[in-house]
């Protein structure tokens, strides 16, 4: 091999094709709402989310705090789980928790 031979590499970032979407509107008030906690099943996500939910609940006094756990961190939430979260909650928090 001489130095004129081109080198090729693999870019692990790949190409993501996604439609841009607007952010959800900010809630005017969170007090008394139903909060969903979506745990992605990573080792420390549950602890982080439980702690965060407790702090938020102290401040906003949610009427319910509902926890949902995905099958694993590499899986998306199922359409049924997303429907359940949307139907039974007013807001959702999630985190990676590494």
Does residue 3 belong to any structural domain of this protein? Answer: no
Does residue 82 belong to any structural domain of this protein? Answer: yes
Neighbour-count burial of 45, counting CB atoms closer than 10 A to its CB (0-12 exposed, 13-18 middle, 19+ buried): buried
Q: Which residues contact 64 (CB under 8 A, 6 or more apart)?
A: 34, 35, 89
pLDDT one-digit tens code per residue, 32-76: 999 999 999 998 899 999 999 999 999 999 999 999 999 998 899
Q: Which residues contact 61 (CB under 8 A, 6 or more apart)?
A: 31, 32
Q: How many domains does the chain have?
A: 1
The pLDDT of residue 94 is 93
Does residue 87 belong to any structural domain of this protein? Answer: yes
The range of the structural domain enclosing residue 58 comes to 34-95
Does residue 39 belong to any structural domain of this protein? Answer: yes
């Amino acid at each position: 091999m001489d130095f004129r031979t081109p080198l090729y590499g693999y870019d692990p970032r790949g190409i993501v094709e996604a439609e841009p979407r607007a952010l959800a509107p900010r809630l005017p008030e969170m007090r008394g709402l139903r909060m969903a906690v979506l745990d992605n099943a990573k080792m420390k996500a549950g602890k982080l989310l439980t702690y965060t939910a407790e702090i938020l609940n102290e401040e906003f006094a949610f009427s319910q705090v509902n926890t949902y756990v995905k099958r694993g961190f590499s899986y998306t939430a199922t359409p049924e789980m997303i429907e359940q979260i949307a139907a039974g909650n007013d807001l959702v928090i999630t985190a990676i928790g590494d």
